[in-house]
Amino acid sequence: MRKYVQLPLVILLVFAGQLCAKPKMKVQLYGERVEFRDSINWVYVYLILPNGDHAQGLCGQAIGQPSCTVESVSPEKRKKSSCNLPSQPSVKLTCYESETYEAVRRKNDITLYGATGKVTYHIYGTW
């Protein structure tokens, strides 16, 4: 009898924890560029935060490490668009048409949740 009482209590606590959890914000991935340097794939992202601020993020992927490229959650193919940055980087930049992701920010780190999992970028500036 005691086990039957504990199960609903556990379910109730898990559900209450989900209700109290901080909702994820929506972040637009405006563009990204990839550089291979010193045996590391450096992925730079250009983000638009919910308050309209623009942030640059960085993730380094060594050989054998999880990918630093966030995969689109929409089933359609990514739609590329022209880039309109105040100053264009010297390397190729790929921009996308309105790609938004759920995200969680902790200080200067932001985690984007894509189709194949999550990727955390370190915010190092604005654009």
> Which residue range is the domain that position 118 belongs to?
23-125
User: Is residue 38 one of the residues assigned to a domain?
Assistant: yes
Looking at the predicted structure, is the pLDDT value of residue 14 above 60?
no
User: Is residue 12 one of the residues assigned to a domain?
Assistant: no
Domain tally for the chain? 1
User: Is residue 11 one of the residues assigned to a domain?
Assistant: no
User: Is residue 3 one of the residues assigned to a domain?
Assistant: no
pTM given for the model: 0.75
Q: Assign 63 a pLDDT band (cuts: 50, 70, 90).
A: confident
User: Is residue 30 one of the residues assigned to a domain?
Assistant: yes
Mean pLDDT of the 53-80 span:
86
- What is the Cα 60 distance to its own chain's centre? 14
- What integer pLDDT is reported at residue 43 of this predicted model? 94
1: three-class secondary structure by DSSP: coil
Q: Around Cβ 51, how many Cβ atoms within 10 Å?
A: 6
pLDDT, tens digit (0-9, with 9 covering 90-100), for 71-117: 887 766 778 888 877 666 566 788 888 789 999 999 999 999 988 89
- What integer pLDDT is reported at residue 22 of this predicted model? 59
- What integer pLDDT is reported at residue 15 of this predicted model? 52
Q: Assign 4 a pLDDT band (cuts: 50, 70, 90).
A: low
Q: How far apart are the first and last CA of the chain?
A: 61
